[in-house]
Structure 1
C-alpha cells in the first residue's frame, strides 16, 4: 500500500454534541502530533498524508437543537402534569364545597322544620290547655247547678224557718273565714307551706319543688305537717270527714266535683280564701272562694 494512500475513515453514528466536540479535540491532537513527527523525520522521507473526517458546524448545531428540543419537551410534559394536578385539585375542592353547601342547606332546612314543629306543638298545647280550662269551668258550673237543684228539691217541703237556717248554713265561705281563728299546729304548717308556693308553675303531674298540679300541692303541704295523703285528687277528697262550706277551718281540703270523684282539690287557708294549683295559665294562686266556689270540703286534722 502506498504511503500516500488515504486512510479510510470509519464513521459511527453521532450520539450527542458533547461527544462530537470531544472527538474533534482528539482529532486535532492527532494531527498536531503527525505534523511534529514529519518535521523531525529524515529529509528524504515521503510525506504521510492522513485524512480524518472532522465534524461540521452544522452537525454540532443539530445536536444542540436536539438537546434543546428534548429539554423543551420535558419541560412541556412537566408543565402539563402540573396543570393536570392543579385541575384535579380544583375539581376536588369544587366537589367538596358543593357537598358542604348541600349539608349546610339540609341542616338549615332541618332546623327550620324543627322550629316550625316546636311552634306548632306549643300552639297546640296552649289551645289544649285553654280547652281544658274551659271544660273544667263548665264542669264546675254544671256540678254546682246540679247540687243546687238537688238541694232545692230536697228542701221543697220544709218550713220557711228551716229554709232560713239552711241558707245561713250555706252562707259564703268568706263569712265563715271571718269567724275562723288563725291556724295553729299542723294546720299552720299546712297553710304556711301552701302559701309559700304561690307563684310557682302549674305542670300536670308536678310534685314540686317549683311546679305542681292540684293534688301534688295538697299532698306536699300535708307532708310538711307529717301527714301522708294519697296522690290523686279523688282519693284525697275521700279521706277524713265531710264538713260544711259554712264551717271551714284552715287546712281543710276543698274539692270540686263529687267527693269520691273530684277532679280538683285545694287547701283552705282561712279568711274565705284558698290556695291551689289551678292551671298552666295561672299557676299556684291564692283566691277567694267566691272566685270559683268549691263543691265541698273534707277535714283530715
Structure 2
C-alpha cells in the first residue's frame, strides 16, 4: 500500500462544464437576449454561475420610421412624374396652339388674296364693259352720221342727231302707254330690285347681272327667256325706239350680238343691272341710250 493511501486529498472537486445553454432573442418585440449557463452536474455544493448579455434589437419605432421614409420617397417620385407629365402637356398644347395660329394666318392671307383677286376681276370687267359700250356708241354715232351725210339733206333727222350721244330715236316719247297686265308685273319686279348689287353671272335674289335680271323679270310671269344678252336681243319682235312700251327689252350693241340688256318701264326710263360700281339702277334713256328693243309681250 502506498504511503499516501490514507491521506485525504485536499483538491477541490472539479466542476463539470455547463451542459445546458438557453438563448432567447426578442428581435421583433424588443426583448433583451439572455444567455444562461448553469451547471447541471457536479457536487451538490457547487454554486450555479449565471451570465446575461444584452443584444441590440430592431424596435417597432425604427421600423415605422423606415416605412415613413419609403412612403415619402414614393410621394416625391410621384410628384416628379406628375410634374413631368404636366410639362409635356403644356409643351404639346403650346405647339398645337402655334400650329393653329399659323394655319389661321395662312387661311386669312389666302382669303385676302382671293378677295383682292375677285375685286380686281370685277373692276376689270366693269372697265371692259364701259369701254365696250363706249366703242359701240361711237360706232353707232358714226354710222348714223354717215347715213345722214349720205342723204344730202338738212332734214329733222339730221338736226336731231347733233349735239347728243345718240339720235332722236333713242329717246322714247313722253306719252308712252302705262304698264298693264303682265308688262306691269315685269316693270314692278325690276323696280323692286333697284339698288341691288351687280355681280357678273349672278341671277338673284339680291345680286344680278344685266341679262339675269331681265330673265328673272319675265320668268315670274311664266315667260322663259334666254340667259345671255345676245340671245335676249332677238327673243321677241324688233320694235322702234320711237314706239317703246313698258316691258320691252332694251339692248345695247347689235341684235344677236348685244352686250347689255335692260327693261323699259315707261316715261323715258329703264331699269337695268348696270355694272359693279352702280348696281341695279333706274335711269333715263338719255343716260345710256340703247341700240334697239324687242317686244316679248
Measured in 2, the distance between the counterparts of 1:184 and 1:293 equals: 24
Q: Please point out which of 270, 281, 284 is paired with 1:285.
A: 281
Higher-RCO chain (CA-CA 8 Å, sequence separation at least 6): 1
Q: Is structure 2 residue 112 aligned with structure 1 residue 119?
A: yes
- Give 3-state SS (helix, strand or coil) of 1:183's partner: coil
- Give 3-state SS (helix, strand or coil) of 1:10's partner: strand
CA RMSD of aligned residues (A): 3.2
Structure 2: gaps spanning 5 or more residues: 1-12, 162-166
- Aligned residue number for residue 252 of structure 2: 256
Q: Is structure 2 residue 27 aligned with structure 1 residue 16?
A: yes
- Aligned residue number for residue 108 of structure 1: 101
Count, aligned residues: 277
Per-residue deviation at 1:262?
A: 1.6
Q: What is the TM-score normalised by the length of structure 1?
A: 0.79
Per-residue deviation at 1:72?
A: 4.2
Q: What is the TM-score normalised by the length of structure 2?
A: 0.80
**Residues 19 and 151 (structure 1 numbering): CA distance in 2 closer, same or farther, change over 3 Å?**
same
Measured in 2, the distance between the counterparts of 1:247 and 1:91 equals: 89
**Residues 72 and 159 (structure 1 numbering): CA distance in 2 closer, same or farther, change over 3 Å?**
same
Per-residue deviation at 1:187?
A: 1.4
- Aligned residue number for residue 221 of structure 2: 225
Q: How is 1:235-254 mapped onto 2 (pairs within 5 angstroms)?
A: 235-254=231-250
Structure richer in helix, relative to its length:
1
- Aligned residue number for residue 9 of structure 2: none
Structure 1: gaps spanning 5 or more residues: 32-44
Measured in 2, the distance between the counterparts of 1:52 and 1:246 equals: 152
- Aligned residue number for residue 63 of structure 1: 57
Per-residue deviation at 1:182?
A: 1.2
Q: Which moved more, 1:147-156 or 1:185-194?
A: 147-156
Q: Is structure 2 residue 93 aligned with structure 1 residue 95?
A: no
